[in-house]
Amino acid sequence: MRAGYQRRQVLYDVSVEVDPGEIVAMLGHNGAGKTTLLKSIVDFVHASGGRVVFAGRDLTPVGYTGRVRAGISYTSAEAPIFRDLTVRDNLELGGFTVPSAAERANRMEQVFALFPILKERETQLGGTLSGGQQRMLSLSMAIMAKPKLMLLDEPSLGLSPAIVQSIFQVIRDFAQQDGMSVLLVEQNVRAALRISDRAYFMRAGEIILEETAEAALARGSWWDLF
């Protein structure tokens, strides 16, 4: 895949693959192109070359809405929520692509079981939640969509270690139980590798290394790759 912003190219023939139920970490320095890659996959940034093939279907001609309906969700680093709507309203909007009301209700109960604080605050406006709670809500909105592929950008950003551990465990559980695939961009390298199956390392818009998460963890230090 090739992509960029106006005349500035950011991605140079980047190719990644995520299998069903697999968590893949995308690692690298700031400005390497990791976020641009996620945005290109979901068509927030229009790719200038390459294809997006999902579950055997070429989604390249399909825009953002079509890719979401196909089962791809994207959660940005900014914890995107509707600040003027309640927690429950945010969750209901997150599940708008799920046609079954019963399935949406079941998903919401799952979310409340995972994050009891959201149940306690379901009538509270999203914008009044703490930063960690907003991150939980944005992740829960993605879960509500019942995605087949979840694209996560910096889910640990600005959170305490305890909340990060909780969120990462939720991601791991959904991958194992639902067969959901995850492509994870994360600066917390060690935490990301602990829940991942494989890792790509990106530098200056190119993939420079692909290896198992176990092998990447065994390195102990990654400065030479950044």
The per-residue pLDDT for range 157-207, each reduced to its tens digit, is: 877 788 788 888 888 888 888 889 999 999 889 999 999 999 999 999 999
The answer, yes or no, to whether residue 97 has pLDDT greater than 90, is no
- Residue 100 burial by CB count (10 A; 0-12/13-18/19+): exposed, middle or buried? exposed
Q: What is the predicted pLDDT for the residue at 18?
A: 96
Residue range 100-115, pLDDT digits in tens: 889 889 889 988 988 8
pLDDT score for 161: 82
Q: Is 3.40.50.300 the CATH number for 10-187?
A: yes
Query: Does the predicted model carry a pTM greater than 0.85?
Result: yes
**Using an 8 Å Cβ cutoff, are 196 and 176 in contact?**
no
pLDDT given at position 218: 95
Strands 3-5 and 72-75 turn out to be unpaired
Average of per-residue pLDDT across 121-150: 91
**pLDDT over 70 for what percent of the chain?**
100
With a cut of 80, say whether residue 72 has pLDDT above it.
yes
Tens digit of each residue's pLDDT (9 = 90 or more) over 169-183: 888 888 888 889 999
Angstrom distance (rounded) from CA 54 to CA 90: 27
Task: State residue 112's pLDDT score.
Answer: 92
Instruction: Give the residue carrying structure tokens 């599940």.
Output: 95
Closest CA to 159 of 170, 173, 147: 170
Distances (CA, A) of 198 to 18, 19, 126: 9, 10, 34
pLDDT for res 159: 77
pLDDT at residue number 152: 94
